[in-house]
């Protein structure tokens, strides 16, 4: 319902109010409280007893109100992989898929590819924004500056070490669009990292065979995250801790993980969570079926394969949340943070997303007792 309670500077102020059995603020659980939203921002979070008598509240019984999700790695939806169909329509479909799973923001990803494909995907994001499309934060480029030994489903012939000229040209063309780049720290020099960082782009280590020492040196040089930890990287071993061990050991580097039960065993998620705490967050790594391009993703149950190799998930962020709670045994509040506050923190958006707090953007989820999405408020 919509409520119009007075005018401010000749402009009507739209007020909405929501309550549920439980409200998770991103920090605490509350009962008997109401979220008051004005013009898409949280105006107040107040006890139900303090509500004005004339204000109507939309109530959700046996439900939870929580901050909406953010997915920082997803490749396509509804038959339109962005790399194959680098156009605004693919992003509109991607945004629809994300919202269906409770994610109001996402970072579309493009895996190792040609220069032409990367440039066209940058153009697609610009076109989408030009059409007033919402929810797309920018672009996540995963490869081609990775280690072929840990390529996973990435196409080997496109993988290479970057040149300064290549990096500078790509970043100049993608200025304001490219928000994250996944690369292998042992493949990229400190100079390359500095160029990327100068564009305020998040660097994430992934598809890497780095030693523990190489990974820690990369973190020292500005790498802030690790892409789909455990998958396609040097593992934790007792004589060589590798990239996994370095991520576990570093006090501030964050990492995403794919909680579908195929990419990572749930026990391994639980172990990583115990070690990394607030530094671990969830992504879907979702793809869609493709019959064109260099990545031919085919459904294989509730996952995807390309050329017989695990190549992506069929997750939504809502399903990721359910899996974290039901199968990895992670407490609900912490699982909610892994899907909202922590990705917002990596993107430096945690001053307006990931919490239900006065002044924050009113991006809210209504979940039932089984954690199914009832409504998305955005």
Q: For the chain, first and last CA: distance in Å?
A: 13
H or E element at residue 64: strand 58-67
Is residue 116 part of the annotated active site? The answer reads: no
The strand order across the sheet containing 303-306 reads: 298-299, 303-306, 309-313
| Active-site residue identified among 71, 265, 285, 302 | 285
Place of tokens 């991607």: 94
Alpha helix locations (H) across 174-234?
190-197, 212-220
As a whole number of angstroms, the distance between CA 369 and CA 84 comes to 39
DSSP string, 200-232: TPEEEE-SB---HHHHHHHHHTT--EESSTTTT
As a whole number of angstroms, the distance between CA 122 and CA 91 comes to 11
Nearest alpha carbon to residue 208 among 228, 178, 237: 228
Report yes or no: 321 and 340 within 8 Å, Cβ to Cβ: no
Beta bridge partners of 30: 23
Instruction: For residue 68, give the DSSP letter.
Output: P
Which residues are identified as catalytic? 285
């Amino acid at each position: 319902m919509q409520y119009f309670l007075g005018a401010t500077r000749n402009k009507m102020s739209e007020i909405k109010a929501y309550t549920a059995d439980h409200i998770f603020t991103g920090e605490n659980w509350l009962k008997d409280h109401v979220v008051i939203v004005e013009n898409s921002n949280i105006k107040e979070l107040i006890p139900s007893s303090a509500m004005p008598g004339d204000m109507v509240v939309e109530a959700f019984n046996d439900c939870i109100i929580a901050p909406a999700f953010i997915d920082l790695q997803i490749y396509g939806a509804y038959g339109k992989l962005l790399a194959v169909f680098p156009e605004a329509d693919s992003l509109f479909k991607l945004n629809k898929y994300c919202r269906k799973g409770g994610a109001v923001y996402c970072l579309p990803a493009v895996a190792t590819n040609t220069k032409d494909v990367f440039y066209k995907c940058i153009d697609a994001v610009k076109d989408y924004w030009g059409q007033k499309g919402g929810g797309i934060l920018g672009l996540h480029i995963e490869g081609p500056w990775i280690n072929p030994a840990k390529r996973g489903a990435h196409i080997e012939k496109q993988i290479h070490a970057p040149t300064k000229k290549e990096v500078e040209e790509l970043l100049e063309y993608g200025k304001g669009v490219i928000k994250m780049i996944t690369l292998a720290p042992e493949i990229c020099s400190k100079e390359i990292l500095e160029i990327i960082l100068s564009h305020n782009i998040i660097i994430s280590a992934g598809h890497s065979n780095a030693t523990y020492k190489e990974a820690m040196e990369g973190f020292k040089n500005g790498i802030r995250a690790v892409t789909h930890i455990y998958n396609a990287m040097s593992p934790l071993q007792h004589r060589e801790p590798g990239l996994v061990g370095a991520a576990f050991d570093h006090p501030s580097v964050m990492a995403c993980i794919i909680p579908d039960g195929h990419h990572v065993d749930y026990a391994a998620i639980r172990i990583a969570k115990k070690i990394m705490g607030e530094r671990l967050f969830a992504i879907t790594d979702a793809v869609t079926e493709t019959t064109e391009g260099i990545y031919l993703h085919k459904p294989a149950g509730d996952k995807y394969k390309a050329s017989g190799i695990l190549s992506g998930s069929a997750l939504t962020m809502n399903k990721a949340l359910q899996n974290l709670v039901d199968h990895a045994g992670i407490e609900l509040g912490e699982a909610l943070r892994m899907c909202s506050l922590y990705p917002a923190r990596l993107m430096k958006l945690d001053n307006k997303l990931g919490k239900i707090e006065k002044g924050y953007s009113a991006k809210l989820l209504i979940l039932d007792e089984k954690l199914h999405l009832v409504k998305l408020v955005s």
